[in-house]
Structure 1
Amino acid sequence: MSIDYGTEWFKVGLIKPGIPLDVALNKDSKRKTQAVVTLRDNERIYGSDAVSLAGRFPQFTYFNLKSIAGKPYNDKHSVEYRHRFVNTMDIDPERNMPIFRHNGTTELTVEELIAYQFQNAREQARQTAGEDVRDVVITVTPFATQHERQAILDAAELAGLKVLSLIHDETAVALNYAVSRQFTTTPENHVFYDMGAGSTVASVVSFSNVEVKEGKKKRQYPQIEVKAIGFDRTLGGHEFDVRLMDHLANGFMKLHKDKVKTDIRTSDGAMARLLKEANRVKQILSANTEMSASVEGLHEDIDFKMKVTRAELESMCSDLLGRVQNPIQQALAAAKLQVDDVKSVVLVGGSVRIPAVQRKLNDVVGYQRIAKNVNADEAAVLGAAFRGASLSNQFRLTKQIKIKDVTIFPIEVTYEPEQSSEEGHAIRTTLFHEFGTMGVRKIMSFKRQSDFTFDINYAKTAEEQDKDVGLDKIGHVKVTGLTAALEKHQDDIKSSENPPKVRVTIEMSDSGIVSVPEASVTIEVNDNGKATFKDKVKSFFGSKEDKPTASEQQEGASETSQATQNETVPASENNTAAENETTVQAKTTKEPTLLKFPLEVEYIPTGPAPLSKKAKDAARQRIKELDYLDQQRRYREEARNSLESFVYRTQDFLEDDVVAKVTSEKEQEHLREKLSETSDWLYDEGEDAEAGAYSERLRGLQSLERRIRTRHFEYLKREENVSRLTTSVQLAQTFVEQSRQTEAKDQEPVYTDEELDNLLKLAETVEQWKITKVAEQEKLGDQVDPVLTTAATDEKCKQVDEALMKLIRKKKASSSSKKSEKPTADENAGKNESKSDQNDQDTTEEVKEEENTEHEEQHEHDEL
């Protein structure tokens, strides 16, 4: 599955063998769901239902969680969230992150609330697929930091999902764009302009066919290469909604200032309803020049109605519209391209439907380059699902597409020199450059004599990242085990001409997560000049320990076609070029042995802290309890619905004319009273009953209704049952009569007299049983339990039919045997001499024919 998780909406994509790639529907049969969750009385409510409850329970309804995922409490986005929404947000002292005080006993992290929505997405996929789905690809914004990406991964983990990869929104759209198109070896540039509810991104993407060597052959694959990205973190449709909400609030106070006791802005419920109405009005104004906002009983039971024009909306959002062009201009400048170098600008996201936004883009790139040839709402989720299929072992795609995505912010390694006269003189080495390829692994070389540490940070300061507090830090790394290894081999190190070499591997995953998977030290050992044969061979071919592995030296393509690069970056004690050069070992008569020892690496996240193990365990326990309550609630609702539907269905059943024939007035009246009593109970004291109470009442009603329904059923089937018995008996009798007439003319009869007599006797017995039961039934009447039942009729008909079919199969076997064999005169003479031998042969042929002509026998049975 895939989840396109946005600020206001999320979509769920699904791909399964036998099911085409498509969007999974929610419980309302909609293709997208509001990214909102309401928690009330230990019940989680999602989507449109949660939005409907926001006006009544705004403090328990959580909107726009993506905007604060992975953000510190003092970050400007968190501050803005507290101004716009009424949820009780406090600071988590251990993490310095926002935490919501849901009630007096429950604290909820942003990750846990997002996990609830991911669970809802998983349920949508399960309902569509008919089975549980765990593997997922989730979209994120390309400017998402390590902390924001980790928050999404933690939320997915709490939801029980296995994240195959994160993928940038625009890259997913580009992948969906490339699936149905053909490209040449000449690069073709497009800009994907995505304005959603929370942010705006413009990505310059190049499409081309590239040649890849696979063994001895070369093949061409389509490739998506992201060149550059421009973005605005806070320019989105939600900003337009907030402006329009304030405009409507001002209009309400202006119209009803003398009627209300308090300002509408002091009512959390009224403002939540007004925000919902503002979003609706904005969408309608995209297609109309004017619209009337209307909310019944908005504040202090006063109805509100106000006309809004498109011109007014554009006027109040003029500063926002002035920022529309910036992302695309930034992206083109970073890619060193002109507008004429771009073939088209593909519009994505719900907010690009605003006419003023499209006019601003026309001013930059021209109307002829604006393309609307992708589904603005669903392209990302479908592209992400295709990406998941390429990562999964369950699928073999006919069209493999290579992806080269980039990271926006450069990442550097900072460390203190081991021997330095100046304290605090840190050395900075940029490891992953701006717009550098993701999915790469790099190796740093250090000259160290003891355990050491270093930091991984964004090269841009927090102020340069839109002044996001604390988002410049990524992690602190401790490398240990080096001191002990060097002490153990200190004699060898002193006698060696080359110092130990420390290598640390730093990886940037396809999801944009930086990690430090391993570190090692290589020590040169001279062995007092005595070299073994193995050492000589290693010296001749080159020491494996002294070099990066083949996978570390060569570029390669992963299964998902994401380019992987490995580079060795030397880290010296100063920044001089001379000391950064690789030391060339002088040739000596001695042949040293190179020993490689793994070192221990401890990675400590810095900046906004991810969820701790303790916090995850607490969240999992709470989710487990909520899941159990949800399950019990479903059982209760199913039991209630079953009882309620049974009451209505049985009341209608009692109106049937046949029921009056098969039941007495007393029985009917008794059942009607019980149904009426149950109906009253359902809507009174049974309103909040447990599932067991519903099931118990249902069983009691079913026991009363079952006898009546059985009589009703048997009354309607009785004539048919008698006819079936008569037909089966007549078929058997006719078969016996015809077989005896035919065998009287044949020299070799197929059936024995005993076989025919047995069939005829069985038919007569069944006929007598029918006559007896029909007579008994007529004496009893229709208002008692019947003695001639459908089940008994089926059994009697089955006995006659099976006995008849056995003889029919014997005849077919005999006929086939005679056709397939041409006996000689001697064989005929032998048959006349030994009739018992012939009977044995007939039996053998019968068994063989039964095995080989099963479908023919079924055809005969159908004809019968």
Structure 2
Amino acid sequence: MIKYLILCLLAIIANGAVLGIDFGSEFIKAVLISPGKSFTIIENTTSKRKTENAIAFYNKERLYESDGASKKTKSPKNTFTFLNKFLGALANDQKIVEISKESYEDFKIEIEEREGTFAFQVDGVQVEGKDTMIVKVEELAGMVLKFIAKLVDFNHQIQIKDVVLTVPSEWNISQRSALKSAAQLAELEVLGIINENTAAALYYALERQDENKHTALFYNIGSYNIQVSLVEFQAIDTQKKKVETLRVLADYSISNAGGQSLDLLLANHFAKEFDNQPSRKGKKSIFTNSKAMNKLLRAANKYKEILSANKDTQVYLEGLIDGEDYSTSIQRSTFETLFEDRLNQLIDPINYVLEKCNKTKEDINIVELIGGGIRVPKIQQVLSNYFGSVEVGTHLNGDESMAFGAAFHAANLSHSFKVRPVQLTDGFSFSSSIEINGVNEDDYHKEFSLFGYKKKYGSTRSLEFSYDKNLRLDIFVEKDGQKSQLISYHLNNITNATELNFSKPDISLTFKATSNEFIKLESAEMKVEEIKLIEIKPNVTTTNTTSSSEKNKSTNQTETQENEQSEEGDTSEEQVQQVETTQNIEEPKEPIVEEPKFKKQKIIHTFPINYTITHHVVLGLNQQEIDDSKKIIKQFETAEENSRKLSEIKNKLESLIYTVREVKDAEYFQKASTETERTEILKTIEEHAEYLDSEDAWTADFDKFNTKFTQLNNLLKPIQVRLDEAKARPQAVNETITKLTDFHKKANALNSTMPWIPEEKKVKFLGHLTNTTEWLKTKLDEQDKRELHQDPAFLIEDLKKKMEKVSEEYTKLKAIPKPKKTQEQKDEEKKKKEEKKQQNKKESESDSTNNSKQEQQNQQDDKEQQQQEQQYEDNFQDQQDSQTQGDGEQKIEDL
């Protein structure tokens, strides 16, 4: 599966990582895509692939995942699970409050001042000196999301930034905006928000091999919702290759009908049975105890899963309430009767989506079951019976498919990846309309449809009309017959254009359907006409006594300008006569000015329309609230860090006291310390131990404990140094003597191995070497005279520094290059070789015997030369040779 998915990442073009987060009501699943890596599911601190969507405030710290969820039975007021239903909801929404009470949630609900959304009182937090704080639901969700981001950092060393979040298809703009605000508080950048079933369908498209048109129904039972989506798949031809497309035809969701509703039915069944036991007669009902009911609710979830795989099971809860245990057994059939009246509800969403897109169940090729609540056998049976011959199966990973789809969608939206092309078409789960009204509604009123059901995200709709006064645009959404107002745009500067004596404005408005279920006024402008009179400049003719040809030319030009309709071929004879008769007449010098003429010119002006906005729904936190909430989260983090440091230093002090008590009578401790030191140390640990048991210790801060720890540690430090030095000294000294011996050999061979070294350099190196050797002799003599309880004559660190200095000086010598031979030396060597060669030649000609002897002599000379060269090489490399010389411990006297 994973191997196939990684093929979707054809090429990575930039460094970056994205995270798909399925932010479920009960569990969160997250999938990471990073450069060079496949789709990776994020595991939590217990190596599980899904993490409880929970946060608890317990013992002055925040607890997450299973640690946080488990505190529901101990501190229900400060443990928050199933937070999603509160996001974007108003605190006066009695339906949400009632659902919370039915789930035995015991939160102290507060109303957030600006928007009236949910906030909660949290007790025992110790933040900024406060025991109680009011925390917004967005802040709680933001803390959980930040924990998920830290899991990514912890497991993969990636500080994640870009994410895509999944939400139920029924979520409106308020809910989506609240979740986006929570992500901002977690320092996350939301690339997009995608419906859960759409994400699963996208994941399904990645694995689909069939290129034919294909219709699938996704039936999703989560912890809180039932969601059904009808999706059409098809591979279409492009210029290069086939591209997979998916189009969401319809979807429908029912809230408070998922797996948790079955847990509640089973928990209530157990509670009634427990109350009816003889031992409970005359006692308060267990229903009045939120801690006990939360224990039953957690147990019900566990036994529901057992009954999904077994026909019956034994139930046992120790110390359920008032020290009483609870034990019973339950059959799967008994459990099924508890929700028998809800089985018909399973079919309603299917009928809705089929009706919405004029389909029948025969048009469906396959039904995909996803979500944790789908595992109940009775539910699968009801759905299989309804669909008959249509295949009903779980080909996808029902728990993780939404997270994988969200991660792929994130890679698609990011600029860091080039992914397999999959065209996704999804849109609003509602229809929308607009009412255009004048400032006084009697002046002007028009209504238009904007976007229909499932109109594709990113679509635009333009409206054009003429009006000369300011307007108000009211946008409404309608779902299941219920119409509600979303937003109003107040167009302000239309009247100004009219006052400038322009024509009645032509108004142009463009709206956009955004992917977070919002309708945005993308552009607003108006066009007006202005009529101007443009003067036609008259011709001015100035005459003077001129030649007839020039005068005639001027006259002809004037006539042509004044009468454009005259024919070009006027009688030339008449013109000639005119020239002849006027040739000698004196022309007037004053200019002849014609009467001014005007023409109308139309100028079109385009102006942007200014507008203000009135929101009729809650749209998350504004920037100031984001900044304030981030400070609150930071306060929690700072308090927890201070608490962690306090606990750490306190444990270190307790551990140090315990260790001293354990070793104070040991022989090595007695030898390494003086009587005065031991007396002072024992006195101090008793004082500190007494303080740890006092009431003052409960309120003491980090500085107080750190001072006491430092005081005791400083008393012990000299003793610890003596013991550590005594243990490591023999080996360190032996290694130092070995190195000094090696450097002395190098120093003795300097004249033969590196004869070019200047004498002053040799003297400097020998001085460092001799001084270090003498220093070591002196210190060893001093150390031999000292007892273990006395401070060392030298430290091992001193040996290291001394030898580093010697080594540094020798390295400087080695860095001095061997001088090159002069040209005279080279010529002299060449001359000698030539003379020797000539001499050998003569001897060879005179006597072959002598020649043989000479050859032997030459060979002997060559051999001696090679031996000299080898000796030179051996001397130069004597550092390596010296490492193998000698066995056993080196003595400083040998130097």
User: TM-score by structure 2 length?
Assistant: 0.74
Counterparts in 2 of 1:604 and 1:631: CA distance versus 1, 3 Å: farther
For residue 636 of structure 1, what is the aligned residue in structure 2? 646
Q: Gaps (5+ residues) in structure 1?
A: 466-470, 494-498, 533-588, 744-748, 832-855
For residue 773 of structure 2, what is the aligned residue in structure 1? 767
For residue 58 of structure 1, what is the aligned residue in structure 2? 76
The equivalences for 1:446-461 within 5 A come to 446-460=465-479
Counterparts in 2 of 1:274 and 1:760: CA distance versus 1, 3 Å: same
Q: Alignment partner for residue 505 of structure 1, among 475, 489, 510?
A: 510
Which whole-Å deviations, capped at 9, do the CAs of 1:643-680 have from their partners, x for residues lacking one? 45555666677798755553457645754664565456
Matches of 2:317 and 2:683, distance apart in 1:
45
Q: 3-state DSSP class of the match of 2:198?
A: helix
For residue 152 of structure 1, what is the aligned residue in structure 2? 179
Matches of 2:245 and 2:275, distance apart in 1:
57
Which whole-Å deviations, capped at 9, do the CAs of 1:517-562 have from their partners, x for residues lacking one? 4311112334347899xxxxxxxxxxxxxxxxxxxxxxxxxxxxxx
Which whole-Å deviations, capped at 9, do the CAs of 1:364-396 have from their partners, x for residues lacking one? 456984444443333323432343343334x23
Indicate conservation of the 8 Å contact 2:193/2:515, yes or no.
yes
Q: Alignment partner for residue 191 of structure 1, among 207, 217, 231?
A: 217
1:515 and 2:520 correspond: yes
For residue 196 of structure 2, what is the aligned residue in structure 1? 169
Counterparts in 2 of 1:436 and 1:531: CA distance versus 1, 3 Å: farther
For residue 115 of structure 1, what is the aligned residue in structure 2? 142
1:487 and 2:499 correspond: yes
Backbone CA RMSD of aligned residues: 4.1
Counterparts in 2 of 1:268 and 1:531: CA distance versus 1, 3 Å: farther
1:203 and 2:249 correspond: no
For residue 594 of structure 1, what is the aligned residue in structure 2? 604
Which whole-Å deviations, capped at 9, do the CAs of 1:382-417 have from their partners, x for residues lacking one? 432343343334x23343544322221112223348
More moved, 45-54 vs 769-778: 45-54
For residue 363 of structure 1, what is the aligned residue in structure 2? 385
Indicate conservation of the 8 Å contact 1:476/1:605, yes or no.
yes
Q: Alignment partner for residue 797 of structure 1, among 794, 803, 808?
A: 803
Indicate conservation of the 8 Å contact 2:20/2:164, yes or no.
yes
Counterparts in 2 of 1:650 and 1:220: CA distance versus 1, 3 Å: farther
Matches of 1:300 and 1:531, distance apart in 2:
105
Counterparts in 2 of 1:105 and 1:763: CA distance versus 1, 3 Å: closer
Indicate conservation of the 8 Å contact 1:414/1:427, yes or no.
yes
Counterparts in 2 of 1:591 and 1:767: CA distance versus 1, 3 Å: same
Matches of 2:680 and 2:236, distance apart in 1:
81
More moved, 340-349 vs 792-801: 340-349
Match of 1:320, as an amino acid? R
Instruction: Report deviation, 1:700.
Output: 1.8
Instruction: Report deviation, 1:231.
Output: 2.6
Instruction: Report deviation, 1:599.
Output: 0.9
Indicate conservation of the 8 Å contact 1:292/1:306, yes or no.
yes
Instruction: Report deviation, 1:629.
Output: 2.8
Which whole-Å deviations, capped at 9, do the CAs of 1:422-449 have from their partners, x for residues lacking one? x9x9654332211221122322223322
1:720 and 2:759 correspond: no
Indicate conservation of the 8 Å contact 1:137/1:167, yes or no.
yes
Instruction: Report deviation, 1:605.
Output: 1.5
Counterparts in 2 of 1:157 and 1:759: CA distance versus 1, 3 Å: closer
Indicate conservation of the 8 Å contact 2:169/2:252, yes or no.
no
Counterparts in 2 of 1:620 and 1:735: CA distance versus 1, 3 Å: closer
1:345 and 2:367 correspond: yes
Matches of 2:656 and 2:154, distance apart in 1:
26
Counterparts in 2 of 1:597 and 1:249: CA distance versus 1, 3 Å: same
Indicate conservation of the 8 Å contact 1:732/1:759, yes or no.
no
Match of 1:274, as an amino acid? L
Instruction: Report deviation, 1:243.
Output: 0.3
Which whole-Å deviations, capped at 9, do the CAs of 1:318-345 have from their partners, x for residues lacking one? 2333333443454455455565655543
Q: 3-state DSSP class of the match of 2:420?
A: coil
Q: 3-state DSSP class of the match of 1:150?
A: helix
Instruction: Report deviation, 1:256.
Output: 4.1
Indicate conservation of the 8 Å contact 1:438/1:508, yes or no.
yes
Match of 1:62, as an amino acid? F
For residue 730 of structure 1, what is the aligned residue in structure 2? 741
The equivalences for 1:37-52 within 5 A come to 37-39=55-57, 44-52=62-70
Matches of 2:649 and 2:218, distance apart in 1:
50
For residue 225 of structure 1, what is the aligned residue in structure 2? 247
Matches of 1:93 and 1:730, distance apart in 2:
82
Q: 3-state DSSP class of the match of 2:418?
A: coil
**Aligned length in residues:** 752
Q: 3-state DSSP class of the match of 1:407?
A: coil
Counterparts in 2 of 1:109 and 1:674: CA distance versus 1, 3 Å: same
Matches of 2:389 and 2:313, distance apart in 1:
27
Match of 1:782, as an amino acid? L
Counterparts in 2 of 1:241 and 1:450: CA distance versus 1, 3 Å: same
Indicate conservation of the 8 Å contact 1:458/1:473, yes or no.
yes
Matches of 1:370 and 1:355, distance apart in 2:
13
Matches of 1:822 and 1:223, distance apart in 2:
82
Indicate conservation of the 8 Å contact 1:729/1:764, yes or no.
no
Matches of 1:531 and 1:150, distance apart in 2:
61
For residue 550 of structure 2, what is the aligned residue in structure 1? none
Counterparts in 2 of 1:609 and 1:175: CA distance versus 1, 3 Å: closer
For residue 490 of structure 2, what is the aligned residue in structure 1? 478
Q: Gaps (5+ residues) in structure 2?
A: 1-18, 124-130, 538-598, 833-875, 885-895
Q: 3-state DSSP class of the match of 2:448?
A: strand
Instruction: Report deviation, 1:456.
Output: 1.4
Match of 1:455, as an amino acid? D
Matches of 2:384 and 2:242, distance apart in 1:
36
Matches of 1:475 and 1:830, distance apart in 2:
105
Matches of 1:359 and 1:688, distance apart in 2:
60
Which whole-Å deviations, capped at 9, do the CAs of 1:26-84 have from their partners, x for residues lacking one? 45554433323334687544333333332333233333221232234245334322443
Matches of 1:206 and 1:40, distance apart in 2:
48
More moved, 433-442 vs 603-612: 603-612
Matches of 1:451 and 1:9, distance apart in 2:
50
For residue 280 of structure 1, what is the aligned residue in structure 2? 302
Match of 2:776, as an amino acid? K
Counterparts in 2 of 1:99 and 1:776: CA distance versus 1, 3 Å: closer
Matches of 2:652 and 2:881, distance apart in 1:
41
Q: 3-state DSSP class of the match of 2:89?
A: coil
For residue 551 of structure 1, what is the aligned residue in structure 2? none
Matches of 1:650 and 1:320, distance apart in 2:
68
Matches of 2:146 and 2:195, distance apart in 1:
21
Instruction: Report deviation, 1:222.
Output: 4.1
For residue 313 of structure 1, what is the aligned residue in structure 2? 335
For residue 429 of structure 2, what is the aligned residue in structure 1? 408
Matches of 1:344 and 1:684, distance apart in 2:
70
Match of 1:317, as an amino acid? F
For residue 555 of structure 1, what is the aligned residue in structure 2? none
Q: 3-state DSSP class of the match of 1:228?
A: strand
Matches of 2:143 and 2:170, distance apart in 1:
24
Counterparts in 2 of 1:188 and 1:737: CA distance versus 1, 3 Å: farther
Matches of 2:23 and 2:424, distance apart in 1:
21
Indicate conservation of the 8 Å contact 2:494/2:505, yes or no.
no
Which whole-Å deviations, capped at 9, do the CAs of 1:167-186 have from their partners, x for residues lacking one? 2112223334445x465764
Q: Alignment partner for residue 672 of structure 2, among 652, 662, 674?
A: 662
Instruction: Report deviation, 1:14.
Output: 4.0
Matches of 1:406 and 1:272, distance apart in 2:
39
Counterparts in 2 of 1:510 and 1:258: CA distance versus 1, 3 Å: closer
Matches of 2:221 and 2:205, distance apart in 1:
21
Counterparts in 2 of 1:136 and 1:824: CA distance versus 1, 3 Å: same
Matches of 1:693 and 1:784, distance apart in 2:
32
Match of 1:199, as an amino acid? N
Q: 3-state DSSP class of the match of 1:437?
A: coil
Match of 1:472, as an amino acid? S
Q: Alignment partner for residue 294 of structure 1, among 291, 304, 316?
A: 316
Q: 3-state DSSP class of the match of 1:111?
A: helix
Matches of 2:882 and 2:43, distance apart in 1:
44
More moved, 354-363 vs 672-681: 672-681
Q: Alignment partner for residue 4 of structure 1, among 22, 39, 43?
A: 22
Instruction: Report deviation, 1:240.
Output: 0.5
Which whole-Å deviations, capped at 9, do the CAs of 1:455-484 have from their partners, x for residues lacking one? 2112235xx46xxxxx73311221111111
